[in-house]
Amino acid sequence: MPVTRPPRVPPWSRVDSEAAVAVAVRDALGTDARVALWPPDGLAVALDAVDAELSRLDQQASRFRAGSEISRIHRSPRRVHRVSRGLAEAVGVALAAARWTGGMTDPTVGSALAALGYDRDFASVGPGPTGSLPVPGPVPGWRSVELRGRLLRLPAGTCLDLGATGKGLGADRAAAAAWRASGRGGVLVSLGGDIAVAGRPPAGGWPVAVAESSLACFRDLAGLPAAVPAAQVVRLAAGALATSSVTGRQWRRGGQRMHHIVDPRTGYPATGPWRTVSVAAVSCAIANAAATAAIVAGPDAAAWLAGTGLPARLAGHDGAVRLVGGWPAANGGQLPEVACG
């Protein structure tokens, strides 16, 4: 039986600028992980706890890691699999999110993403050959996936991608684990901008910058700007905040620009009016799912988000900004605390 060596964990770097709070960053899950914690003397044990959670999630649910549990399932000829408790939870959350969003997020977009070229860790994604674009069409659909306890039934040819909820779930798990490990104060964990907090926040909440776009959208222009301003700073006292954007993780395939948020109805990148959506929720998995669903929902996004009651900020390709659910208009404003209804 082949032995899968755990991937090498990059070291954390301290980047804090205030004595009251420790902040550390490292690469993780194809993006960056960031941990902020007070009091700062609990940082070492908190980082160990975060490392353990991220490693677990990577080994359970990364479709880019050949030895991960989900990759082995994709390669297996069997259709029914007994999965680990952690993967069962991750798939269960993805299916629940699909149901909640009316299919605007869907974990069965894995094959569509791979066909579009996002079939490896994003740092390795390159331009595909011209004319290699797949025929547009709906993905298999989350209803074709069955999860009963730890038994997962997956139709032939269906590949799961837990991107709409996976990082959020990872942030939830890591924040809870870090806070338990440190035992006091409060902690914030960000995975590529999907943020969960646990424990007591600093006075007024954790200050978090919200960005509307990344430099990615300017990279193909000559004389690209050195910086893009963040749109707003908000304060997060509890729960989570996640942002989905079509401006990051872009690549070109068959002469077309692609991004990583696939519309399950077409199997192609979503083409709605919103370029970036930020959502606050009780957990980061929910915030992550809601933000991604809003990008896919397009013109219906604001109404759908308003129906959920979640605070959200939608930024359009045309520069228009829409705030719903009590998202603060002021810079430095505190996000409403969201509780389960």
Partner 1 sequence: MDPQDLPSRLPGPGEPAPQEARARSRDRGLRHVRRLSNWTAVALVAATAVTAGYLARAHPGTQQPASVTRSHSQAPRSSTGQPCVSVPVAVSGGSGVTTTAPAQSCAPSTGGGARPAVVYVKPGEDRED
Residue 236: helix, strand or coil by DSSP? strand
Least distance from partner 1 to the Cβ atom of residue 118, Å: 10
Instruction: Determine, following the binding rule CB under 8 A, whether residue 177 of this chain makes contact with partner 1.
Output: yes
How big is the site for partner 1, counted in residues (CB under 8 A)? 112
- Residue 201 within binding range of partner 1, rule CB under 8 A: yes
Exactly one of 62, 108, 111, 243 binds partner 1 (CB under 8 A); which one?
243
Stretch that binds partner 1, among 2-10, 75-83, 149-157, 281-289 (CB under 8 A): 281-289
Pattern 87-116, partner 1, x by CB under 8 A: --x--xx--xx-xxxx--------------
Contact call for residue 11 and partner 1 (CB under 8 A): no
Among 45, 114, 133, 231, binds partner 1 (CB under 8 A): 231
Sole binder of partner 1 in the list 87, 242, 294, 314 (CB under 8 A): 242
CA angle 63, 35, 321 (to 5 degrees): 80
Q: Cβ-count burial of 71 within 10 angstroms (0-12 exposed, 13-18 middle, 19+ buried)?
A: middle
42 binds partner 1 (CB under 8 A): no
Residue 156 Cβ vs partner 1, minimum distance, rounded to whole Å? 28
Tell me the β-bridge partners of 215. none
Cα 276 to Cα 301: distance, rounded to the nearest angstrom: 11
| Residue 222 interacting with partner 1 (CB under 8 A) | no
Helix 43-61 and helix 85-100: axis angle, to 10°?
80
Name which of residues 46 to 65 contact partner 1 (CB under 8 A).
none
Using CB under 8 A as the binding rule, whether residue 328 contacts partner 1 is answered as yes
Near partner 1 by CB under 8 A, which window of 5-13, 73-81, 144-152, 182-190?
Answer: 182-190
Helix (H) or strand (E) holding 334: strand 333-334
Give yes or no for residue 309 binding partner 1 (CB under 8 A).
yes
Nearest distance from C-beta of residue 157 to partner 1, angstroms? 27
Tokens of 206: 């954790």
Q: Backbone phi, then psi, for 142, in 5-degree steps? A: -65, -25
Distance CA(210)–CA(276), nearest Å, equals 10
Residue 28 is a binding residue for partner 1 (CB under 8 A):
no
* Span interacting with partner 1, options 61-69, 75-83, 119-127, 140-148, rule CB under 8 A: 119-127
User: Does the protein bind partner 1 through residue 150 (CB under 8 A)?
Assistant: no
Under 8 Å between Cβ of 75 and 176: no
Task: Pick between residue 79 and residue 149 the one whose CB is nearest to partner 1.
Answer: 149
Long-range contacts of 247-252 (CB under 8 A, 24+ apart): 247/212, 247/213, 247/214, 247/216, 247/217, 247/275, 247/276, 248/214, 248/216, 249/118, 249/122, 249/216, 250/216, 250/217, 251/117, 251/118, 251/125, 251/126, 251/127, 252/127
Give the binding range for partner 1 (CB under 8 A) out of 72-80, 118-126, 141-149, 266-274: 118-126
DSSP H or E segment with residue 115: helix 110-115
Stretch touching partner 1 by CB under 8 A, among 70-78, 136-144, 146-154, 307-315: 307-315
